[in-house]
Structure 1
Amino acid sequence: MSSDLVRRRTKIIATLGPASDGAHRMEELCRAGVDVFRINFSHGDHAQHRNRIAAAREAERAAGRPLALLADLQGPKLRLGDLLGGTIDARMSSELRLVIAASSAEPDTVPIPHPELVSSLQLGDRLLIDDGKITLIVVRADGDTRICRPLAPGRLSSRKGVAAPTRPIPIPALTEKDIADGRFAIEQGIDYLALSFVQRSTDLSLAREVFGERIPLIAKIEKPAALDDLESIVRHADAVMVARGDLGVELSPEQVPIAQRRIVRASRAAGKPVIVATHMLESMIEAPVPTRAEANDVATAVYQGADAVMLSAESAVGRHPSAAVAIMDRIIRAIECDREDTSAAAHQQAPAASTADACARAASRLADDLNCPLVVFTRSGASAQRVSATRPGQPIHALTPSLPTARRLSLIWGVSADIEPEEPRSFDDILDAVTRHEAASGVQRFVVTAGYPYHSDNSTDTIKVVERR
């Protein structure tokens, strides 16, 4: 079957920025295939974000389908202070003094205004400066000062980013900026909140205390420390992102694909949505077509079973944002037609942990056996997400009375959502609503699954085959 005739299951996230600002441009991205818009709170102010959110909702109305908005918080970004003269030329034989300070008036002294970072460094630890362009090794301690040598010559500049991949840093999971940005995003009706530099599951617990239980949290895995607590982080998160940009700085290149596969597998086994992000079609920031290696990178994420793949600079500041989305859409469709290989993603789940999980799996198997669509009636989205986690070979159509739920389901693999404004009082009401919505599709048979009592979030327990005469 032609890939153009197949409904795409893996979702596409596009980051908004100057290249994609305005409702008209966002409508173009929707037509090209965007399911979720990402707003990067590392850049811009609240006025800009408010305008982008309003434009995205306008594009959603024009598209005639729910779209999710994802607010990506900056996180605790560690940076150097101000160097004497603005730069230091580090030679192989240089000894540099790391001091706890916002600035320095002495040569060969590197100020770092983060006491928790400097104090945690021990003999042999590595310090990465400016996205890994310069690596310093701690050779000894002198009180609160650390003496370092560069692994290779290079130039240090004021305010560049700094990371310590060999040691978990005891820094707060949320900065004051993150808290203000997160609360603003929630007030604006954002659908997902992504937390940067998550190191442990307790970071998510803190975020829930600050932001409440209602907003779904995405844990961005971009620190080696997070890999040490991966299963617990996945368990506590609502979704997971493989943030390969910063992860690639702190891990050696050959370790990044191994980490990606492990994160995707852990998320899939737990039934949590997982996003693969960063540098997917990087060359399209300038070029009108991607490299073949980039196409293969997108394909790998699809084969591994990711719920979504994400564009960053390609759609935010690139020269061809709509083309990047369209090409990503084409790659995904082509790979999803390779059923023999993509079906392997269905076997990554752990055994059913509850009646609801078992019913979702049974409904999925029944739809595959009968070669007919699945229709899930869901209030919170949990039932549709459970069915999606089984990776059925048939379309998943979710009906919900909740617009926020329909929007959140835009991120979930294989799910298309519609609004059913009538709240059902019984399973018969659910069947009536499903039959009414499916009438225009021409489908004669479909599998319906839902929960009863309907207002319980963990009640997926009913399956029925509906055959229209």
Structure 2
Amino acid sequence: NKIIDLADAVMVARGDLGVELPIEDVPGIQKKLIRLARRMGKPVVVATQMLESMVNSPTPTRAEVSDVATAVYDGSDAVMLSEETSVGKFPIDAVSVMNRVAEKVEVDPLYRYIMDAEHPNPDPTTSDAITAAAGRVADTVSAKLIATYTTSGSTALRAARERPSVPILVLTPIKKTARRLTISWGLHCVETEDAHSMQDMVSRACDLARAEGLVKIGQRIIITAGVPFGTPGTTNVFRIAKITKTNFYK
């Protein structure tokens, strides 16, 4: 727990774990690390020999496909290829297979059931309370997106930890933050100026959500932000907005 708390992200490198520990312990440790990382709001990547046969073969084994799917079902933020794309003969095919498997898992009703069943309890803070509520309200009002303003990235990581059923649009004025967050589950990051007012907050989120092709006119979105704007760690605003033709921000 202390190591994960100090880390920016976690990589479950099964090759290294298999060297240091009995190989039969690795699957259980993988699941434990994924759960701990999610609970603490840290991105977790599963890696090593996921589609190793595709280094020399255009198709993976069924066991490898199951391995990738299991990592996604467990709740990992990302699955990673290494030798398959660095020196393999079929790098594009390997990426395509991994992407198809991940997408198939994420539309499986069982996946949603697992994510909800293993839902971590929010911390007793305003930021966590608002972020946890966003996903539930999105389901209740059939919103298509959660838009969250963030400077440090902590609010976006809290939103990803919730594993909502809709995409998360992250709006940040800091390019470094946007790049760092792209590895996290469900986050679509856009670099933009911070909001200057409540109206600007709503209009900017609606327009950028539409510009990124994430929503259509007439659909609803959830917006979370912090006032005073631009102050890290102050998420205290929650809005439901509707996409219209006149949401233009200045």
Q: Same fold (TM over 0.5)?
A: yes
Shifted more, 260-269 versus 343-352: the winner is 343-352
Quote the offset at 1:342 in angstroms.
3.6
Q: Distance in 2 between matches of 1:380 and 1:232?
A: 21
Equivalent in the alignment of 1:351? 122
TM-superposition CA deviations, 1:342-386 (whole Å, max 9, x none): 431243413324221111001111112222111112222222211
C-alpha contact (below 8 Å) 1:401/1:419 kept by paired residues: yes
TM-superposition CA deviations, 1:14-55 (whole Å, max 9, x none): xxxxxxxxxxxxxxxxxxxxxxxxxxxxxxxxxxxxxxxxxx
Give the counterpart letter for 1:413 in structure 2: W
**1:464 paired to 2:239:** yes
Which runs of 5 or more structure 1 residues have no equivalent in the other structure?
1-230
Q: What does residue range 222-371 of structure 1 map to in structure 2 within 5 Å?
A: 231-346=1-116, 347-371=118-142
Structure number having the greater helix percentage: 2
Equivalent in the alignment of 1:397? 169
Structure number having the greater strand percentage: 1
Give the counterpart letter for 1:364 in structure 2: G
Equivalent in the alignment of 1:386? 158
Relative to structure 1, the CA distance from residue 242 to residue 378 in structure 2 (aligned partners, 3 Å threshold; closer, same or farther) is same
The aligned length equals: 238
TM-superposition CA deviations, 1:135-154 (whole Å, max 9, x none): xxxxxxxxxxxxxxxxxxxx
SS at match of 1:466: strand
What is the alpha-carbon root mean square deviation over aligned residues?
1.6
C-alpha contact (below 8 Å) 2:11/2:44 kept by paired residues: yes
Shifted more, 270-279 versus 372-381: the winner is 372-381
Q: Distance in 1 between matches of 2:180 and 2:154?
A: 10
SS at match of 2:190: strand
C-alpha contact (below 8 Å) 1:452/1:462 kept by paired residues: yes
Which runs of 5 or more structure 2 residues have no equivalent in the other structure?
245-250
Q: TM-score, normalised by structure 2?
A: 0.89
Give the counterpart letter for 2:154 in structure 1: A
SS at match of 1:455: coil
Q: Distance in 2 between matches of 1:276 and 1:308?
A: 6
Q: Distance in 2 between matches of 1:294 and 1:400?
A: 37
Q: What does residue range 26-41 of structure 1 map to in structure 2 within 5 Å?
A: none
**1:427 paired to 2:198:** yes
Q: Distance in 1 between matches of 2:109 and 2:235?
A: 27
Quote the offset at 1:395 in angstroms.
1.4
Give the counterpart letter for 1:300 in structure 2: T
Q: Distance in 1 between matches of 2:60 and 2:124?
A: 42
Quote the offset at 1:324 in angstroms.
0.7
